[in-house]
Amino acid sequence: MTTQKPETAKAAEVAVGGGAANAAGATGLANVAGAPEFMPKIVAFCCYYCAYSAADLAGSLRLQYPPTIRVIEVPCSGKVDPVILLRAFEEGADGVYVAGCMEGDCHFLKGNFRAKKRVQAVKKILDQIGLGGQRLEMFNLSAAMGTRFAEIATDMTRRIEELGPSPIRPEALAARKAAAGAKEQGEVKTR
């Protein structure tokens, strides 16, 4: 039995690795003077029946939200699988969220409840492996909530900016190595 990479997983990889919205300073949220600009990469799995339409509405309303979000359309938030969420992180996403319909309004009845449970399960895995469950979230909104869509994008960007880059990013790895080296040197000096 071999495993074929799901279409959505491929989309997640493309979204994370792709060149969409890399203009530095576009968020203006974490622009601390002198600090290198951190532009989070956030993958948003958006249900076709709500969040994806809400994103359209946000566009029609000319609402501004950070270009840190890579939207992936899914037929239902219940389509989102733990493997896909993890793969997004594996490919370097700093944050991931699933946006599904309001509870009780799922087009397929229970998809958003299933997504909620899976997100909770993956949060636990992320905590165990040191990536942190806060980097993943589930949101509920309706197709009419364009403003809420922009709000979620902004809130999530802010949260990830506070958390910093994903620890698997090369710059984060280099920073940790440098910190470990400095600590070692300090220990040698004190001996």
Say if CB 102 and CB 132 are below 8 A apart.
no
Cβ proximity to other proteins: between 51 and 131 the closer is: 131
Sign (positive or negative) of CA dihedral 112, 118, 119, 120 = positive
In terms of CB distance, is 18 or 110 closer to other proteins? 110
The token pair at 103 is 């509870």
The CB-of-148 to other proteins minimum distance in angstroms stands at: 30
Buried b / exposed e over 25-62, threshold 16 CB at 10 Å, is: eebebbeeeeeeebbbbbbbbbbbbbbbbbbebbeeee
Q: Which is nearer to other proteins, 173 or 182 (CB)?
A: 173
| Least distance CB 121 / other proteins (angstroms) | 9
Q: How far is 146 from 35, CA to CA, in rounded Å?
A: 32
State in angstroms the smallest separation of the CB of 126 from other proteins. 8
For other proteins, the closer CB: 21 or 83: 83
Nearer to other proteins, 67 or 133 (CB): 133
Contacts within 8 Å (CB) and 24+ apart, 163-168: 163/94, 163/95, 163/132, 163/134, 163/135, 164/38, 165/38, 165/40, 165/94, 166/89, 166/92, 166/93, 166/94, 166/131, 166/135, 167/130, 167/131, 168/89, 168/90, 168/92, 168/131
CB of 103 to other proteins, least distance (A): 20
Nearest to other proteins of 3, 190 (CB atom)? 3
Residue 105 Cβ vs other proteins, minimum distance, rounded to whole Å: 23
Q: How far is the CB of 64 from other proteins (least distance, A)?
A: 32
Query: Which chain residues interact with other proteins by CB under 8 A?
Result: 1-3, 81-83, 86-87, 89-90, 125, 128-131, 167-168, 173, 176-177
